[in-house]
Chains A and B, each alone.
Chain A
Amino acid sequence: MPYTAKIKVTLRQSILDVQGKAVEHALKNLGYGTVESARIGKYIEVTINEQDFQQAERIANEISQKLLSNPVMENYSIELEQVN
């Protein structure tokens, strides 16, 4: 049965996020003085057809580590739900 994995990939805090910095400056320039920071990441939605939740979760983790994120500089998080 199909599951949707909503995967978020973000740069580690120790890595300078230049895109986030540019957005942060733009927001401040627009007058949003209360904006303290902005960080940019990636959102990837993957549909996985597996027998059960555990299997789908295993695949979602595997692809996140193997291709979707680079563990040297990025973290990822997965939200997995069954598609009805």
Chain B
Amino acid sequence: MADVIVGVVVFPGSNCDHDTEYAVASFEGVKPVMLWHNDHDLQGAQAIILPGGFSYGDYLRAGSIARFSPIMQEVIEFARKGFPVLGICNGFQVLLESGLLEGALSRNRDKKFLCCQTNITPLNTSTIFTSKYNKDEVLSIPIAHGEGNYFAPPEVIESLEEHDQIVFKYTDAFGQVTDEANPNGSLNNIAGIINRQGNVLGLMPHPERASEQLLGSLDGRPLLESLFKHIAGA
């Protein structure tokens, strides 16, 4: 059977691109290809991952300049056709700036850059990214960001809730949505959302940093596995 090909976009300033490549390559039958920001060729990728980092130095606003890079024009087209796109951390910021997802991420409420383990709980396990999770199981996945404070106008939040598009929330160790468990001030503890069509997911926590026992958690693996199984089975 042919390998599943997964494109990992490399912007100037991406710094989780190789971690993501490494995590993707650890799955049998899955082959990562690196996609340079200045190219237009998606190299036959069946899914695209926008990795974490500081694309274009986070100048102006995180993700705002990356959104207009040549490769992103192809990624936006790819997403509009219904193919899977996953944005992690800075990748999530790029997806919001692109308009592929709704809302915005502003500065963490306590002003700090946060680099720590967080608990998140999947609320929707019927997406192509979360089918390998059990609903309400608490996952330990790290975050590393200065601008992860999710915001959207009330009517957007309402619509996200109504269509089950809030995929991950920050919770305590028991899966409770509390203010103490909210690291950055995100509205309603939102950690990750999906688009209405269900093919574009963005989240602030880093599943690739929780994909090997040595890293202290394997809880990010099922996310990648869900996606790869979906593609292989499609």
Seen from chain A, the residues whose Cβ lies within 8 Å of a Cβ on chain B are: 11, 15-19, 21-22, 42, 67-68, 70, 72-73
Contact = CB atoms under 8 A, between A and B. Distances in A.
Contact of A16 (B97, B103, B153, B185): B185
Interface size classification for chain B: 20 to 34
Contacts of A72: 96, 103-104, 151-153
Contacts of B60: 42, 67-68
Interface of B is mostly: loop
B195 to A, nearest CB: 15
Interface of B: 60-61, 64-65, 68, 96-97, 103-104, 106-111, 149, 151-153, 185
A73 B60 CA distance: 13
10 contacts: A11-B106, A17-B107, A18-B107, A18-B111, A19-B107, A19-B111, A72-B96, A72-B104, A73-B104, A73-B151
A17 B68 CA distance: 26
Contacts of B111: 18-19, 21-22
The 7 closest A-B pairs by CB, nearest first: A72-B104, A18-B111, A18-B107, A73-B104, A70-B104, A73-B106, A15-B106
Nearest to B108: A18
Q: Which of A15, A19, A42 has the most CB of B within 10 A?
A: A15
Given A18-B108, A18-B109, A70 B64 contact: yes
Contacts of B106: 11, 15-16, 73
Nearest to B110: A18
B97 to A, nearest CB: 7
Nearest to B97: A70
Contacts of A19: 107, 111
Contacts of B104: 70, 72-73
Nearest to B156: A72
Contacts of A17: 107
A21 to B, nearest CB: 8
B94 to A, nearest CB: 12
Contact of B68 (A15, A18, A67, A73): A67
Which of A17, A19, A70 has the largest number of chain B CB atoms within 10 A? A70
B168 to A, nearest CB: 20
A19 B108 CA distance: 10
Contact of A70 (B61, B107, B109, B110): B61
Most A CB within 10 A of own CB, among B103, B151, B185? B151
A21 B110 CA distance: 10
A15 B103 CA distance: 12
Nearest to B65: A67
B39 to A, nearest CB: 21
A78 to B, nearest CB: 16
Contacts of A15: 106, 151
A19 B60 CA distance: 15
Q: Which of B96, B106, B153 neighbours the largest number of chain A CB atoms within 10 Å of its CB?
A: B106
